[in-house]
Structure 1
Amino acid sequence: MGSNGKEVATEIRPYIRVYKDGSVQRLVESPIVPPSASDPETGVSSKDIVISQNPPISVRIYLPKQALQQHQKFAVLVYFHGGAFCSESAFSFVETKFMNRLVCLANVVAISIEYRLAPEHPLPIAYEDCWAALQWVVSHSNGDCGSDKESWVCTYVDFDQVYIGGDSAGANIASNILLRAGSEGLQNGVKIKGAFLTHPYFWGSKQIGSEIKDVKRREKLVMSTMWHLVYPEAPGGIDNPMINPVVEGAPSLAGLGCSRLLVSVAEKDPVRDRGISYYNAVKESGWQGELELVDVEAEDHSFHILVHHSENAKKLIQRLASFLVSCAGHGRKSFQFPSRVSRI
């Protein structure tokens, strides 16, 4: 029984509580904040728009300061926020803080997707929302900027420089989007040039690396219980390829639809070994692209967003920005990354 007198059906502490009447209580969330005409810290401008009424999908669009000062087009990052598919928002304080810094440092346009959350909207709904949002972005590439189009996207986006990224569940979404883009393609023949997956939420029934081996204990870990909550009908359960991309029978990672990929993991993150396994699987798949791994010591899952003021958070955000800069070019010399970073 919850403190509100309702009977609890499922509880995954400290994240979420689901009651038998179907109502949901999210226990840890960052407050929602409005967009800004000019962020005081970075000068980044942002606004929110509804891109679809059915299904209901919204986005927060970010413009670097230079966009309002120069008549030029910029690379675009389509971003999927984290939160285990069931919490957080593209409009939350921590996500907005992160995006403002990243847009400022990388000098790109960013479009952060507000997809529908589980368990009210179980997976694969979030995947479909994010795919629809990405297709909406690239639909502006045909040069037709009528009243039904978004002026910032038409005016400022260079569609030869499209990138996607995400953290945690958002990184999982980004990986699955890359596979779908590789097999189905995007509107108007637009290609995804690069992507970054930060602390991707992958899991599976069998132990990898330093993970707990005991099957019964693994089933009680939040990585397992959360997946069953957000995707109760997943074929294969915790070994569905969407959560376990290296499971036998999963689509080949050689089909990832981008030419450059950065995977970042953190030493204290429970899903760290999954990220490294994914990196190795991509490397061994025959994928024809440039692959990079960043491993940060002494940090935990999504620290760069949850502890956004820390020095390591600032350094990792700079690392991601440098990746976008080197992908987009902007007339600058390409950066070279080591396959492993011992400390940043």
Structure 2
Amino acid sequence: MVSNTKEVASELLPVLKVYKDGTVDRLLGSPFVPPSSPTTTTTTTTTIISKDTTISSAVSARLYLPPTTTTRLPILVYFHGGGFCIESAFSSFCHRYITSLVSHSPILAVSIEYRLAPENPLPIAYEDSWSALQWVASHSIKPKSKPKPNSDPWLSNYGDFSRIYIGGDSAGANIAHNILMRAGVEPLHGGVEILGAFLSHPYFWGSDPIGSESKADREMGLLHRTWMFAYPGAPGGVDNPMINPFASNAPSLKELKCARILVVVAEMDELRERGVRYGEEVRESGWGGDLEVVEVEAEDHCFHILNPETKNAKNLIKVLASFLK
């Protein structure tokens, strides 16, 4: 009898399995939903419109806009979480979250669909995210004749390029940090600068424990395994500066290229200590911007995305929205 069971090549449990035929089975994550999904876009005050667009052959995005826009709006370039391996800009979790954020703070949001590991190991997600931000910034340059083929009229007509924010949750917050570092050494199109960034429950890690982090079996933990799975060739492993901004060879956080940073941590989150430490290190680096660290008590990792109807989740959305105003 011939077995129909595919043979597993590698796995990152409980997140995903990779089979020897090259296919990937993602065990976690939320289903895709279309833009302007009627089940998630209506609030008591407004209806958010959204659409999908292609940035390049490898990168796409979902754009969100308040329906009665008559003025130019701050632009949020958002990077979703998921350990660089799961979730999507088009997933129900992400769509619901960004819709809620836009409804609380009139902004033009651009949620980036970067490529995922293991099919596309890091640093591809970083490169995709930087390319997406450059694409957004390119809309600040008025074309001499007709618009570029892949330009988007929402950005051209409604975006305020003096108020560009980036943000992300978990792995997306990690991407936002690395974008800020890159922007310190590489200019954006049109001379655009990032005004601010929010890093919510940022995914940072390292070989040495910080604060109350466990010392035992660190290499067996999901945070360690996820990074090594997503970036198997990372120089320095979990002490690569991209995942450990406190590593001895990491560039100075003084080089973060923006004027405002909001860091959000949750009391019960295993990543809490790293987020708090990040705020301390930024302050001590000599970085000259405004920094705020917000801690939410009795909550765990990305609670506001997974359980958005709770009181703490609604309050955090208001905090993030206020930061973007």
Q: Name the TM tier (shorter chain).
A: over 0.9
In the TM superposition, 1:167-182 aligns within 5 A as 167-182=169-184
Find the residue that maps to 2:75 and give its secondary structure: strand
Asked whether the equivalents of residues 177 and 199 of structure 2 are also in contact (C-alpha less than 8 Å), the reply is: yes
* Corresponding letter in the other structure for 2:77: V
Tell me what 1:26 maps to. Answer: 26
- Which has the larger displacement, 229-238 or 4-13? 4-13
Q: Write the distance in 1 (CA, Å) between the matches of 2:227 and 2:130.
A: 20
Q: Which amino acid aligns with 1:104?
A: S
The alpha carbon displacement at 1:7 in A equals 2.2
Secondary structure at the residue paired with 2:277?
A: helix
Unpaired runs of 5+ residues, structure 1, are 326-344
Whole-Å Cα distance in 1 between the matches of residues 299 and 106 of structure 2? 27
Q: Which amino acid aligns with 2:317?
A: I
Distance 1:312 1:158, change over 3 A: same
C-alpha distance after superposition, 1:50-86 (max 9, x if no partner) = 1101xx111000001331xx2x100000000000000
Pairing of 1:69-88 with structure 2 (within 5 A): 70=70, 72-88=71-87
Encode CA deviations 1:139-189: one digit per residue, 9 max, x unaligned. 000122615221111000010000000000000000000000111121111
Match of 1:40 among 42, 57, 60: 42
Instruction: From 193, 203, 207, give the equivalent of 2:209.
Output: 207
Give the 3-state SS of the residue equivalent to 2:51 in structure 1: strand
What is the Cα deviation at residue 4 of structure 1? 6.1
Runs of 4 or more above 6 Å deviation: none
Residue type of the alignment partner of 1:284:
E
CA–CA distance in structure 2, aligned partners of residues 119 and 40 of structure 1:
35
Deviation at 1:97, TM superposition (A): 0.5
What's the CA shift for 1:9?
A: 2.8
Q: TM-score, normalised by structure 2?
A: 0.95
Q: Find out whether 1:113 has 2:117 as its counterpart.
A: no
How many residues matched? 316
Letter in 2 for 1:97: R
Aligned-pair CA distance for 1:115: 0.3
Cα separation, 2, equivalents of 1:298 and 1:166: 21
Q: CA deviation at 1:29?
A: 1.2
Q: Check whether the contact 1:65–1:104 (CA below 8 A) recurs between aligned residues.
A: no
Structure 2: segments with no counterpart, 5+ residues: none
Matched, 1:138 2:140: no
Match of 2:322 in 1: 322
Q: Assess if the C-alpha contact under 8 Å between 2:12 and 2:229 holds in 1.
A: no
% identical aligned pairs:
57
In the alignment, does 2:188 pair up with 1:186? yes
**Distance change in 2, residues 1:309/1:275 (3 Å):** same
Give the counterpart letter for 1:276 in structure 2. Answer: V
Q: How does 1:1-344 map to 2 (within 5 A)?
A: 5-36=5-36, 39-41=41-43, 42-53=46-57, 56-67=58-69, 70=70, 72-144=71-143, 146-148=147-149, 149-214=151-216, 217-325=217-325
Q: Give the TM-score, by structure 1 length.
A: 0.89
Amino acid in the other structure paired with 1:48: D
Root-mean-square deviation (Å) = 1.4
In 2: Cα distance, 1:25 partner to 1:93 partner: 18
Q: Deviations over 1:284-315 (max 9, x none)?
A: 00001000000011111111101122221111
Q: Distance in 2 between matches of 1:251 and 1:192?
A: 19
- Cα 1:79–1:321 change in 2 (3 A) is same
Residue aligned with 1:66, SS: coil
Q: Is the 8 A contact 1:85 1:126 kept in 2?
A: yes
Partner-residue secondary structure (3-state), 2:102: helix
SS at match of 1:163: strand
1:21 CA drift (Å): 3.0
Residue 19 of structure 1: how far off its partner (Å): 2.1
